[in-house]
A and B are shown apart, each in its own frame.
Chain A
Amino acid sequence: MTNPSPVVARHSGQIILALGVLIFGAALAYATTLLPEATGYAKVGPRLMPTLVSIGIILLGLLLIKEALTGGFRDIDETVHAAKEMGTPTDWRAFGWISAGLILDGLLIVTAGFVIAGTLLFVLAARGFGGTGGRRYLKNGVIGLIISASTYAFFTYGLGLALPRGVLPF
Chain B
Amino acid sequence: MEVLNSLLQGFSLALTMQNLLWCFIGVTLGTAVGVLPGVGPAVTVALLLPVTSKIDPSGALIMFAGIYYGAMYGGSTTSILLNTPGESATIITAMEGNKMAKKGRAGAALATSAIGSFVAGTLTVIAMTFVSPLVVDIAIRFGPPEYFSLMVLAFVTVSAVLGESPLRGMTSLFIGLAIGLVGIDSQSGAARFAFDVPQLLDGIEVVTVAVGLFAVGETLWVASKERATEEKVMQVTGSLWMTADDWRRSWAPWLRGTAIGFPFGALPAGGAEIPTFLSYAMEKRISKKPQEFGHGAIEGVAGPEAANNASSTGTMTTLLALGLPTSATAAILLAAFQQYGLQPGPLLFVNSADLVWALIASMYIGNVMLLVLNLPLVGIWIKLLEIPRHLLYAGILIFATLGVYGMRQSAFDIFLLYAIGLLGFLMRRYDFPTAPVIIGMILGPLAEAQLRRALSISQGDWMIFLQKPLSATLLGITAMLIIGPWAWKKWKAAQG
Q: Are B174 and A60 in contact (CB under 8 A)?
A: yes
Q: A71 contacts the other chain (Cβ, under 8 Å)? A: no
Residues of B within 8 A of A159 (CB): 51, 54-55
Chain A CB within 10 A, most for which of B177, B390, B417, B452 = B390
Name the prevailing secondary structure of the B interface residues: helix
A147 CA to B397 CA, complexed, in Å: 11
B190: chain A residues at CB < 8 Å are: 35-36, 45-46
Contact with A along B444-467 (1 / 0, CB 8 A): 100010011001101110000000
Say how far A156's CB is from chain B's closest CB, in angstroms: 10
Q: Are A74 and B451 in contact (CB under 8 A)?
A: no
A125 touches B397 (CB 8 A): yes
Q: Mark A56-93, 1 if CB is under 8 A from B, else 0.
A: 11001101100100000111110001101101101110
Tell me how far the C-beta of A24 lies from the nearest C-beta in chain B, rounded to whole angstroms: 8
Contact partner of A160 (CB less than 8 A), chosen from B54, B421, B431, is B54
- For B73, what are the chain A residues with a Cβ–Cβ distance below 8 Å? none
Is A14 within 8 A of B430, CB to CB?
Answer: yes
B-chain residues with CB within 8 Å of residue A118 when the two chains form the complex: 398, 401-402
Chain A residue nearest to B185 in the complex (CB): A46
Q: Which partner residue on chain A sits nearest B170 by CB separation?
A: A60
Is residue A41 contacting chain B, with contact meaning CB distance below 8 A?
Answer: yes
- Does B388 interact with chain A (Cβ within 8 Å)? yes
Complex-state Cα separation, A126 to B399, whole angstroms: 14
Q: Interface SS of chain A: helix, strand, loop or mixed?
A: helix
Say whether A151 contacts B455, CB under 8 Å.
no
State whether A95 and B224 are in contact (beta carbons under 8 Å apart), knowing that A14-B430, A102-B414, A125-B394 are contacts in the complex. yes
How near does chain A come to B91, taking the closest CB pair, in angstroms? 8
- What distance in Å separates the Cβ of A68 from its nearest Cβ neighbour in chain B? 10
Q: B: which residues have CB within 8 A of A?
A: 50-51, 53-55, 84, 164-165, 167-168, 170-171, 174-175, 177-178, 181, 185, 187-188, 190, 192-193, 216, 219-221, 223-229, 388-391, 393-395, 397-399, 401-402, 405-406, 409, 411, 414-415, 417-418, 421, 425-426, 429-431, 444, 448, 451-452, 455-456, 458-460
28 A/B residue pairs, CB under 8 Å, sorted by A: A13-B429, A17-B430, A28-B193, A36-B188, A41-B459, A42-B456, A42-B460, A43-B455, A46-B192, A56-B170, A61-B171, A73-B431, A77-B164, A88-B227, A91-B225, A94-B223, A95-B220, A102-B397, A103-B415, A105-B401, A117-B401, A121-B398, A122-B397, A123-B394, A134-B390, A151-B398, A160-B54, A161-B406
User: Given A85-B225, A102-B417, list of 10 further CB < 8 A pairs?
Assistant: A42-B458, A43-B455, A50-B181, A53-B174, A53-B177, A73-B165, A97-B223, A106-B415, A118-B402, A126-B393
